[in-house]
């Protein structure tokens, strides 16, 4: 506290001026404080001696520099936030423009299809009406001939002589078969035409099939990515979650970071558990089947793979929103915008996220129980019992093969923010770290984590933190590379 005369007073004794400085506690104090609180301290000096040269001292200069750096970091972050706000406004405008463009194109295309069907309708209608007019003309002509013959016969019978009647009868009998055949021919070719319109299923069910213009997603990334040597940094265990049953083998645990929460699954107990970022339990949800994997949909929802179902869950209320029947065997899976990639043994299957209809299959050699994808055509999966393969657009970009002793039964796979690849060797009891090009960086023993067989590894987006599960104990470790 500073008085009007510029004298600095003690915080604990406001009526006492600062007169001494305790170097042991780095604290300026009054004589009373020195007597009561610092009498056992060895390095207590006068305030004049302590303040001598303080303005040019190294610690003062360094403090000012650090404060300047803090201020600059805050200013940069504020500017980044301002720029991000502007970018969001721009992106929103672009999205609205894109939706308007799509709407106009759809309307234009519908108008084109409508005009085409109208032209076709007019053409077919004209052809049918022309045929009907021709039939009517032929029938009318025959009717006139028959009516004329009837008038001749009526006149011959009523007013003509016997000879006249005989003559007309013989003349018309000779022509009767000919006109009879003409009548039969015309009548036999008559058609009852109709016009019907059957819309294609894609058009007929457009409203039910197409619920939206597209998928609107929110993606976030850290403005300041941690400055860490991801390939050589030491790995620390930050926290251990015990969500499994110690008496049950094969927990098949999985987990993800989602916003302010950490979500973990455990197969034997058939549940998903939510913790906050301070590792405090929030809630849990009992599932109808044991889960094998979990994937983020957006910042409000996630999906749990509990064969045979994909269960969509609201993260805030931990409530099941929807359950979809996958109709394919799977263990690991991942959500990618509008599709799920399902992994099981020697096959990957792509499913439509809304209808769960099968889009395509891709055969792998074996053991592809989990998949790590950065796009629908860019993914990594196990290629055999001791290796993995990265595929881009259906072609193998690289294959990493260890030996059974060094890498046995690859399961969980993930990448960090630098693109380094991590493979859980379940039966080799280690984790293989590769470069983004598939070159081995290091082999990390599971024993340093205090677990036996690593199952799933999942990195937090743009972070040096990751979740690691142990299939035997059910433990889930939150670790970080320092």
Residue 476 counted as domain residue: yes
Structure tokens at 7: 């004298």
The number of domains in the chain is 2
Cα 24–chain centre separation:
57
The C-alpha angle 15, 21, 24, rounded to 5 degrees, equals 130
Domain holding 266, by residue range, is 235-481
Name residue, tokens 């600095």: 8
Q: 431 and 324: one domain? A: yes
Q: How far is CA 271 from CA 263, 286, 289, 293, in A?
A: 10, 4, 8, 11
CA distance 228 to 222: 14
The residues of the chain scoring below 70 in pLDDT are: 1-6, 215-225, 245-249, 404
The 3-class SS string of the chain reads: CECCCCCEECCCCCCCECCEEECCCCEEECHHHHHHCCCCCCCEEEHHHHHCCHHHCHHHHHHHHHHHHHHHHHHHHHHHHHHHHHHHHHHHHHHHHHHHHHHHHHHHHHHHHHHHHHHHHHHHHHHHHHHHHHHHHHHHHHHHHHHHHHHHHHHHHHHCCHHHHHHHHHHHHHHHHHHHHHHHHHHHCCCCCCCCCCCCHHHHCHHHHCCCCCCCCCCCCCCCCCCCCCCCCCEEEEEEEECCCCCCCCCCCEEEEECCEEEEEECCCCEEEEEECCCCEEEEEECCCCCCEEEECCCCEEEEEECCEEEEEECCCCEEEEEEECCCCCCEEEEECCEEEEEECCEEEEEECCCCCEEEEEECCCCCCCEEEEECCEEEEEEECCEEEEEECCEEEEEEECCCCCCCCEEEEEECCCCCEEEEECCCCEEEEECCCCCEEEEEEHHHHCCCCEEEEEECCCCCEEEEEECCCCEEEEEEEC
Give the number of residues written for the chain.
482
Instruction: Give the number of other Cβ atoms within 10 Å of residue 12's Cβ.
Output: 12
| Final residue in a domain of this structure, among 195, 217, 250 | 195
Residue 73 counted as domain residue: no
Q: 474 and 339: one domain? A: yes
CA distance 265 to 251: 9
Return the CATH number at 426.
2.120.10.30
CA distance 187 to 481: 92
Q: 268 and 396: one domain? A: yes
CA distance 397 to 110: 42
Residue 425 counted as domain residue: yes
Specify whether the CB–CB gap between 424 and 410 falls below 8 A. Answer: yes
Q: 353 and 468: one domain? A: yes
Residue 101 counted as domain residue: no
Q: 387 and 461: one domain? A: yes
Q: How far is CA 10 from CA 34, 41, 53, 255, in A?
A: 11, 18, 21, 53
Residue 423 counted as domain residue: yes
Q: 317 and 448: one domain? A: yes
Q: 279 and 397: one domain? A: yes
Residue 337 counted as domain residue: yes
| Cβ contacts of 354 within 8 Å, gap of 6 or more | 211, 338
| Final residue in a domain of this structure, among 195, 224, 243 | 195
Q: How far is CA 392 from CA 165, 381, 399, 412, in A?
A: 98, 12, 12, 19
Residue 378 counted as domain residue: yes
| Final residue in a domain of this structure, among 172, 195, 218 | 195
Q: 153 and 282: one domain? A: no
pLDDT digits (tens, 9 = 90+) for 423-471: 999 999 999 999 999 999 999 999 999 999 999 999 998 899 999 999 9
Q: 190 and 239: one domain? A: no
Q: 289 and 143: one domain? A: no
Q: 159 and 249: one domain? A: no
Q: 175 and 279: one domain? A: no
Pairing mode, strands 271-276 and 358-363 = unpaired
- How confident is the model at residue 366, as a pLDDT? 73
Residue 365 counted as domain residue: yes
């Amino acid at each position: 506290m500073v008085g009007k005369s510029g004298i600095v007073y003690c915080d604990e004794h406001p009526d006492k001026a600062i007169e001494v400085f305790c170097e042991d506690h780095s604290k300026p104090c009054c004589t009373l404080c020195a007597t009561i609180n610092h009498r056992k301290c060895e390095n207590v000096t006068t305030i004049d001696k302590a303040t001598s040269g303080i303005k040019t001292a190294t610690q003062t200069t360094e403090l000012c520099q650090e404060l300047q750096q803090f201020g600059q970091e805050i200013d940069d972050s504020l500017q980044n936030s301002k720029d991000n706000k502007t970018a969001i406004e721009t992106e929103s405008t672009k999205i609205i423009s894109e939706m308007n463009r799509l709407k106009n194109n759809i309307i234009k295309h519908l108008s084109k299809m409508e005009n085409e069907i109208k032209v076709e309708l007019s053409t077919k209608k004209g052809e049918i009406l022309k045929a009907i007019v021709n039939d009517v003309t032929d029938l009318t002509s025959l009717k006139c001939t028959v009516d004329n013959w009837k008038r001749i016969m009526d006149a011959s019978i009523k007013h003509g002589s016997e000879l006249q009647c005989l003559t007309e009868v013989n003349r018309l009998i000779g022509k009767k078969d000919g006109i009879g055949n003409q009548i039969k021919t015309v009548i036999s070719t008559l058609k009852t035409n109709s016009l019907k319109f059957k819309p294609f299923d894609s058009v007929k069910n457009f409203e039910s099939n197409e619920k939206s213009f597209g998928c609107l997603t929110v993606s976030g990334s850290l403005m300041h990515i941690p400055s860490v040597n991801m390939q050589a940094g030491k790995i620390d265990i930050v926290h251990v979650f015990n969500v499994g049953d110690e008496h049950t083998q094969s927990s098949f645990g999985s987990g993800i970071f989602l916003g302010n929460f950490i979500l973990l699954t455990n197969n034997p107990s058939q549940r998903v558990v939510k913790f906050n970022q301070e590792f405090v339990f929030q809630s849990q949800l009992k599932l109808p089947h044991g889960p094998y994997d979990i994937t983020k949909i957006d910042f409000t929802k996630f999906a749990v793979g509990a064969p045979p179902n994909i269960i969509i869950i609201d993260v805030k209320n931990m409530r099941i929103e929807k359950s979809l029947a996958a109709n394919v065997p799977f263990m690991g899976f991942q959500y990618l915008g509008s599709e799920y990639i399902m992994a099981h043994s020697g096959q990957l299957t792509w499913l439509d996220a809304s209808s769960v209809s099968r889009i395509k299959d891709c055969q792998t050699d074996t053991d592809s129980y989990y998949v790590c994808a950065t796009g629908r055509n860019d993914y990594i999966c196990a290629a055999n019992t001791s290796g993995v393969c990265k595929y881009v657009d259906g072609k193998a970009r690289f294959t990493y093969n260890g030996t059974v002793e060094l890498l046995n039964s690859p399961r969980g796979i993930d990448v960090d923010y630098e693109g380094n690849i991590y493979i859980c060797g379940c039966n080799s009891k280690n984790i293989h770290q590769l470069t983004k090009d598939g070159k081995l960086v290091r082999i990390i023993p599971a024993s340093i984590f205090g677990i036996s067989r690593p199952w799933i590894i999942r990195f937090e987006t743009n972070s040096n933190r990751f979740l690691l599960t142990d299939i035997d104990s059910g433990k889930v470790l939150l670790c970080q590379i320092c």
